[in-house]
Amino acid sequence: MRSAETPRRRAALLTRRALIACVLIAAARAALFFVRPAQPTDFDQLWWAAGALLGGEDPYRVIAQGSSPYPLYYPLPAVLLAVPFSLVPLAMARVLWDIAVGWSLVLGLSRRPPFALLALGSGAYVHAMVRGQVTPLLVAAVLVPALGWLLSVKPNVGLALWAAFPLRRIAVQCGAAVLLSLAVWPAWPLTMWQALQVNSSHIRPPIALPFGWLLLAGALRWRTPEGRLLAALALIPQHLQPYETLVLCLVPRSAREMGIFVAGSWIALIPLIARADAGPLDLQALGREVWPYLLVCVYLPALFLVLRRARLAPPGGLGTDSEAVAPPRVDPAGSRSYGE
């Protein structure tokens, strides 16, 4: 009986941790709503685009003709994801969106060793929540079988994650999501491409920035998911902002390593905090300003953690189709993991 009860107790413990984390996320987002209720977020574009789509209009043209200086950077699967939220007022939709995104991340992290939930306290996650970003959904997509299609909502970073976790089911789900979006609006790839030509010079791969080529050293551990993730991220054009580094919460294999990620991600927010009230930002200039912090405080520590590991990921663990990115073995204290 004892052996049969242990998995139940473990599942109950993980459920309690997940519920507590979700309550904290909801409280944090509600507090942000009351402190700065009118603060625009990146989710706002998805909300407007979803409303335009429901009205039979091309969402990319609607956003391009609006007051925002930036085009709609997301593919149509992301717009479809925002459709249910477009049925409520924008201020309420922001809160509901962040709670739903946070819940998805908690659901994914709860499948890993307990220390993984510390990522909710990282500057990368907080920045993603404040900006209404989809990056937490991408992390959840490689951890929860039913959410694999979410990599299609941000295919650039999604491609890097798929390189790290090349699961067949994820490719099938993403393909189905794209086919559904084409059935809804067949012309969206063309109109999205046209919109991106207006203002996308700030979307660059890390390898094009000073010392970004160092991340290619992750290929020295190509047989591990974390090594592939770092090498792929070096080549993928992306918004060079702290919220994008949340995917690196998949690198730590112990509470100590997660602590390094959390601390570094908060230091990387310093230039953004310093310019909090500076008004409209030049994203290209901001990317150049933030990059040294991201490189030194987040990317290079993650690279160090990957390169110092002499052993390969155990067979049947991360990045296989045998299980939904199942967490490797952990001792009762949770201080050592992944079979080491």
What pLDDT was estimated at residue 143? 94
Higher pLDDT, 270 or 276: 270
Do 73 and 199 touch, CB atoms closer than 8 A? no
Other Cβ atoms less than 10 A from the Cβ of 321: the count is 12
What pLDDT was estimated at residue 203? 84
- Is the pLDDT at 150 greater than 60? The verdict is yes
Give strand ranges (E) for the chain: 203-204, 238-239
For 136, how many CA atoms within 13 A lie in the half-sphere containing its CB?
A: 30
Mean pLDDT of 289-304: 94
Average pLDDT, whole number, for the chain? Answer: 82
- Is the pLDDT at 276 greater than 70? The verdict is no
Tens of pLDDT, residues 200-241: 777 889 999 999 999 999 999 999 999 999 999 999 998 888
Q: Over pLDDT 90: what percentage of the chain?
A: 52
Q: Are strands 238-239 and 203-204 parallel, antiparallel or unpaired?
A: antiparallel
- Is the pLDDT at 133 greater than 50? The verdict is yes
Tens of pLDDT, residues 2-21: 444 576 666 666 666 666 66
